[in-house]
Amino acid sequence: MHLLKAQPCESVMPKTQRSGKTQQSGKTMRSWWRSFAQSKLSLAAVAISCALGLSACSTAVPSDPNNICSIFQEKDSWYAAAHKVHDKYGVPINVAMAIMYHESNFVEDAEPPMRWFLFIPYGRGSSAYGYAQAQDEVWNDYVEDAGSMFSDRDDFEDALDFIAWYMVKTKNTNGVPLHDAYGQYLNYHEGWQGYRNGSYKSKSWLLKTARSVAQQSEKYKSQLLRCQLY
């Protein structure tokens, strides 16, 4: 019996055709890799742009925070939110806006400064955060009572709604009229129990701030009457 000599497998494709096909395949692969690399660069550029865009998404503070007409002309959504809050609670918007201005300067993510021991940070003075500088505990009370699970302290409308809610609670708890910016701010800062206990009386700096809030409220009120926005 004769053993058959194994023969190398031959392609059915002619050599010239195989050579052309190999070159074409190589070109295709190189083209694919170039496209892939370009797409990766494009994705990286998009990612960088999105990352940079996050900071741009932050709400800018009003250009003239001392003029409520300018604020509402500059920020239509704030004007609409102010009307909504006024209709809901009946609070004078000039008082609520004056409180917000003195609490955060209209900075959406405002926080108390970090405290340091030598070069070691050891926390902030309180949990106050956002436009209204609401602390965790009272903010949670607001969310349960009048807000929602979607309420955010760095959202203008939510923060203004919180201030108005607190003002109404102050009126009902301690009998301070809604238009009394001075008394409302003392309650806002010291809490209802602290106000009843007179904790503010020994704080000259706080009394000065409350007077400043009252003055700002009157200024806003006068401006609103002239600009006829509200």
Identify whether residues 84 and 165 lie together within a single domain.
yes
With respect to residue 11, please indicate whether it lies within any of the assigned structural domains.
no
With a cut of 60, say whether residue 149 has pLDDT above it.
yes
Q: DSSP alpha helices (H): ranges in the chain?
A: 15-56, 68-74, 76-89, 93-104, 136-145, 156-174, 181-196, 204-227
> Given pLDDT bands bounded at 50, 70 and 90, which one contains residue 125?
low
With a cut of 70, say whether residue 71 has pLDDT above it.
yes
With respect to residue 3, please indicate whether it lies within any of the assigned structural domains.
no
Identify whether residues 43 and 72 lie together within a single domain.
no
Identify whether residues 44 and 90 lie together within a single domain.
no
Question: In this structure, what CATH number is given to the domain that contains residue 137?
Answer: 1.10.530
Identify whether residues 28 and 72 lie together within a single domain.
no
How many angstroms separate the CA atoms of 174 and 159, rounded? 22
With respect to residue 157, please indicate whether it lies within any of the assigned structural domains.
yes
State the number of CA atoms in the 13 A half-sphere of 159 facing the CB.
Answer: 26
Per-residue model confidence as pLDDT tens digits over 175-202: 999 999 999 999 999 999 999 999 999 9
How many angstroms separate the CA atoms of 68 and 74, rounded? 10
Identify whether residues 52 and 72 lie together within a single domain.
no
Per-residue model confidence as pLDDT tens digits over 75-107: 999 999 999 999 999 999 999 999 999 999 999
DSSP state, 222? H
With respect to residue 135, please indicate whether it lies within any of the assigned structural domains.
yes
With respect to residue 129, please indicate whether it lies within any of the assigned structural domains.
yes
- pLDDT value of position 147: 82
Identify whether residues 44 and 86 lie together within a single domain.
no
With a cut of 90, say whether residue 4 has pLDDT above it.
no
**Residue 121 backbone dihedrals phi, psi, to 5 degrees:** -75, 140
Identify whether residues 46 and 85 lie together within a single domain.
no
DSSP string covering 141-183: HHHHHT--TT--TTSHHHHHHHHHHHHHHHHHHH---TT-HHH
Identify whether residues 97 and 177 lie together within a single domain.
yes
Identify whether residues 89 and 53 lie together within a single domain.
no
Please give the residue that has the higher pLDDT: either 44 or 174.
Answer: 174
With respect to residue 84, please indicate whether it lies within any of the assigned structural domains.
yes
Q: Is 147 left (phi over 0), alpha (psi -120 to 50) or beta?
A: beta
How far, in whole angstroms, is CA 65 from its chain's centroid? 18
Q: Is 162 left (phi over 0), alpha (psi -120 to 50) or beta?
A: alpha
Of 37-51, 83-97, 101-115, 198-212, the least confident: 37-51
- pLDDT value of position 80: 96
With respect to residue 10, please indicate whether it lies within any of the assigned structural domains.
no
Count of domains in the chain?
2
Average pLDDT of the chain? 80
Host domain of residue 129: 68-227
With respect to residue 5, please indicate whether it lies within any of the assigned structural domains.
no
Identify whether residues 158 and 125 lie together within a single domain.
yes
* ∠ Cα 110 114 120 (to 5°): 155
